[in-house]
């Protein structure tokens, strides 16, 4: 019984439904180009509809997991009527059918005498396994006029070490590539067909630009990771492969959740979810847990296990540690509570974004870094659990490489990225990017990816996920400005109204992102996460001073077994004479610096002047009769 050829219009419709974007593009240019350069996600596996040429509808399509792009291309090209040969630098030539090699060799023998002369000694394809011979042979095969030939050439990125600095041999390789495209023959049948070569390369930039530019016979096509449509198709065709149980898996809501949570996944990663589902006996209805296991190795959700009582009392505890910043504390706790209840992404399509984002700005020394440490202690019981990145160390054009690691072949590749390595090791974390305005502009591309997609891929191709992290940025933007003479001066001072400080800081932030960086989209990603810290006002300075002195007293008692005493009179005298307005402009850091300089230094001098037994108990006081050059009461100590 004769097989009816598929209707071309129907076949195009089936391909549009079944093929990923890169295959649709390849199919479109099959009759138009002699050489295709596939680049990007070429090392993935692929879900391919093996019966697309005969399927009458989308429901009849049968998808199989094809392990590599070579096999996908071979299956597709053979279905399109091509004889396919495959070549790579390591293994040489490979053909599929039993008689395919003989057919190809007979095509060489059928070439004109001048072209056939170069291949008279070839008795098998492996006789031309070296790259120069292989390119010559492929050039000859695509010039034949008897049989449509498609050659798949792997490792094209390895044809030259420096694509734009070629030696003579390398230049000849690519000249053969260009000549092959020019000599490839066209077959005029019901649908036009061209002999063609398909080159697989990591990046299109691995191919010299002069091979591609202004060459109407070549085309670069990016092989992308599965799109939203591809992931939906995967779920539709593979949902029966998940562990069975746990309710229906054909609901649109579950399908939508799967599509959203797998954004950025490769086909191989999608297939891994099936394996995890079976091993852990988790049905598709628990896809969020399956994906967490794949990303983080954790079955339980860390944030949702937080002690709700601790979170409930967190505001009171933080206000005892970070003084005078009630608004910042309230906003931070709101985010923690939202994350602990799983509400951080309840209204978003992208559930991969960080648990929360905070942007701390305002005058120096007001508690921005201190609040970040306090949050780490609240959540992890350890303030050192915070991952801190000083962005002044990322201010050159290679800073993005420091964060995500060097690409293959470059120095430092094996070490990985400073950020991606740490996040993969500890995905449940608080990440602090300190003074981000000092970072190079190229780093902000990575920030955008973290905020928008919740992931970064390092130089090794491994992905770090930020969906379980709390991200905190700090900045001193707005603290200074240039005057009419071009000199840097303070933009505001201690004593200015908080509303005016907030206005100037937010204006400086907007100008930085929109005018200096020209990246308003990054500003938009921060949303309403900006928190402007206030100056340390009176009487908050008294609380900070008292806290600093109490810390000294506690540590001396615990570490040295010494008793350090001070009274209210000393605290008030020190405030009046040492904590002046210019000191408060430096915030809590300015207060601590004064304690360091005048109290701790005087204490050290006093303790050196007395014997060890006498150090067990002493007190600090202000000597009203003895003043220094600044006419301030002198800080003194005496035994008790």
- Using pLDDT thresholds of 50, 70 and 90, give the confidence band for residue 274: very high
Give the pairing type, strands 488-490 and 480-482: antiparallel
Total domains present in the chain: 4
φ, ψ of residue 432 in degrees (nearest 5): -110, 120
User: Which residue blocks in 223-325 are alpha helix, DSSP H?
Assistant: 228-238, 252-261, 267-280, 287-296, 308-312, 314-321
| pLDDT tens digits for range 389-447 | 998 888 888 788 888 876 655 555 556 678 888 888 888 888 999 888 898 888 888 88
Average pLDDT for 39-68: 91
- Tell me, what's the pLDDT at 382? 72
CATH code of the domain in which 60 resides: 3.40.50
Q: Which of 297, 323, 349 is the last residue of a domain?
A: 297
Give tens-digit pLDDT for 467-477: 888 899 988 88
Same structural domain, 204 and 96? yes
Q: Are residues 142 and 61 in the same domain?
A: yes
From the list 163, 162, 165, 191, the residue with the least C-alpha distance to 177 is 163
- Asked whether residue 3 carries a pLDDT value surpassing 50, the answer given is no
In this structure, are 152 and 281 located in the same domain?
Answer: no
To the nearest whole number, what is the mean pLDDT of the chain?
84
Residues 593 and 506 in one domain: no
pLDDT band at 1 (very low <50, low <70, confident <90, very high): very low
Question: Containing domain of residue 259, as a range?
Answer: 228-297
> Which of residues 177, 195, 223 is at a domain's end?
223
If asked whether residues 215 and 248 sit together in one domain, one would say: no
pLDDT of residue 350: 55
Q: Which of 328-342, 382-396, 452-466 has the lowest mean pLDDT?
A: 328-342
Cβ neighbors of 476 (< 8 A, separation 6 or more) are 361, 362, 363, 364, 435, 437
Q: Would you state the pLDDT for residue 628?
A: 53
Long-range contacts, stretch 444-451, CB < 8 angstroms, 24+ apart: 444/517, 444/519, 444/522, 445/400, 446/400, 446/403, 446/404, 446/419, 447/522, 448/519, 448/521, 448/522, 448/525, 450/354, 451/353, 451/354, 451/357, 451/522, 451/525, 451/526
pLDDT tens digits along 507-537: 888 988 888 888 888 888 888 788 888 877 7
End of a domain among 190, 223, 256?
Answer: 223
Instruction: Quote the tokens at residue 564.
Output: 């350090």
Q: Would you tell me how many other CB atoms lie within 10 Å of the CB of residue 236?
A: 15
pLDDT confidence of residue 207 = 93
1 in any annotated domain? no
Query: Does 386 lie in the same domain as 363?
Result: yes
Taking residue 262's Cβ as centre, other Cβ atoms within 10 Å add up to 24
Question: Is the domain of 33 the same as that of 153?
Answer: yes
Q: 292-326 pLDDT, tens per residue?
A: 888 877 656 666 666 666 677 778 888 888 887 88
């Amino acid at each position: 019984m004769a097989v009816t050829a598929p209707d071309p219009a129907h076949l195009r419709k089936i391909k549009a439904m079944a093929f990923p974007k890169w295959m649709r593009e390849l199919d479109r240019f099959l009759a138009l180009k002699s050489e295709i350069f596939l680049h990007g996600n070429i090392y993935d596996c692929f879900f391919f509809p093996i019966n697309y040429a005969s399927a009458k509808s989308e429901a009849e399509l049968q998808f199989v997991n094809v392990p590599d792009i070579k096999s996908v291309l071979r299956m597709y090209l053979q279905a399109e009527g091509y004889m396919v040969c495959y070549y790579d630098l390591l293994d040489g030539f490979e053909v599929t059918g039993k008689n395919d090699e003989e057919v190809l060799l007979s095509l060489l023998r059928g070439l004109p005498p001048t072209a056939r002369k170069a291949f008279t000694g070839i008795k098998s394809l492996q006789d031309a396994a070296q790259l120069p011979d292989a390119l010559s042979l492929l050039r000859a095969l695509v010039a034949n006029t008897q049989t449509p030939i498609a050659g798949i050439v792997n490792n094209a990125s390895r044809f030259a070490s420096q694509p734009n600095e070629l030696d003579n041999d390398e230049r000849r390789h690519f000249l053969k590539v260009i000549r092959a495209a020019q000599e490839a023959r066209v077959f005029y049948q019901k649908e036009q067909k061209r002999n063609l070569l398909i080159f697989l390369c990591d990046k299109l930039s691995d191919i010299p630009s002069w091979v591609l530019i202004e060459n109407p016979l070549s085309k670069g096509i990016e092989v992308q990771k599965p799109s939203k449509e591809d992931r939906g198709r995967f779920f539709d065709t593979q949902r029966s492969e998940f562990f069975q149980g746990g309710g229906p898996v054909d609901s649109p809501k579950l399908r939508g959740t799967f599509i959203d949570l797998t954004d950025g996944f490769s086909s191989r990663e999608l297939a891994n979810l099936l394996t995890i589902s079976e091993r852990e006996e988790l049905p598709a209805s628990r896809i969020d847990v399956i994906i967490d296991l794949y990303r983080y190795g954790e079955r339980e959700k860390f944030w949702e296990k937080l002690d709700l009582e601790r979170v409930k009392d967190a505001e009171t505890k933080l206000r005892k540690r970070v003084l005078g910043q009630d608004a910042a504390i309230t906003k931070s706790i709101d985010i923690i509570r939202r994350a602990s209840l799983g509400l951080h992404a309840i209204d978003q399509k992208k559930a991969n974004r960080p648990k929360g984002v905070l942007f701390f700005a305002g005058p120096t020394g007001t508690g921005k870094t201190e609040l970040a440490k306090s949050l780490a202690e609240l959540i992890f019981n350890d303030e050192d659990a915070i991952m801190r990145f000083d962005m002044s160390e990322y201010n050159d054009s290679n800073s993005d490489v420091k964060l995500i690691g060097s690409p293959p072949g470059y120095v430092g590749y094996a070490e990985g990225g400073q950020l991606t390595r740490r996040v993969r090791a500890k995905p449940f974390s608080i990440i602090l990017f300190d003074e981000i305005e000092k970072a190079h502009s190229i780093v902000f591309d990575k920030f955008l990816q973290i905020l928008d997609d919740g992931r970064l891929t390092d130089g090794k191709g491994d992905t770090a996920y930020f969906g379980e992290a709390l991200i905190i940025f700090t900045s001193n933007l707005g603290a200074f400005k240039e005057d009419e003479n071009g000199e840097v001066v303070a933009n505001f001072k201690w004593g200015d109204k908080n509303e005016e400080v907030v206005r100037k800081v937010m204006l400086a932030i907007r100008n930085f992102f929109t005018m200096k960086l020209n990246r308003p989209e990054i500003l938009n990603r921060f949303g309403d996460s900006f928190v402007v810290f206030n100056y340390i006002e009176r009487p908050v300075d008294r609380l900070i001073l008292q806290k600093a002195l109490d810390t000294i007293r506690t540590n001396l008692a615990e570490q040295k077994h010494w008793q350090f005493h001070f009274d209210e009179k000393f605290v008030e005298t020190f405030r009046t004479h040492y904590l002046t307005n210019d000191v408060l402009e430096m915030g809590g850091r300015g207060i601590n610096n004064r304690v360091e300089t005048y109290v701790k230094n005087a204490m050290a001098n006093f303790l050196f002047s007395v014997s060890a037994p006498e150090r067990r108990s002493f007190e600090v006081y202000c000597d009203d009769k003895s003043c220094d050059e600044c006419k301030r009461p002198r800080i003194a100590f005496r035994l008790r």
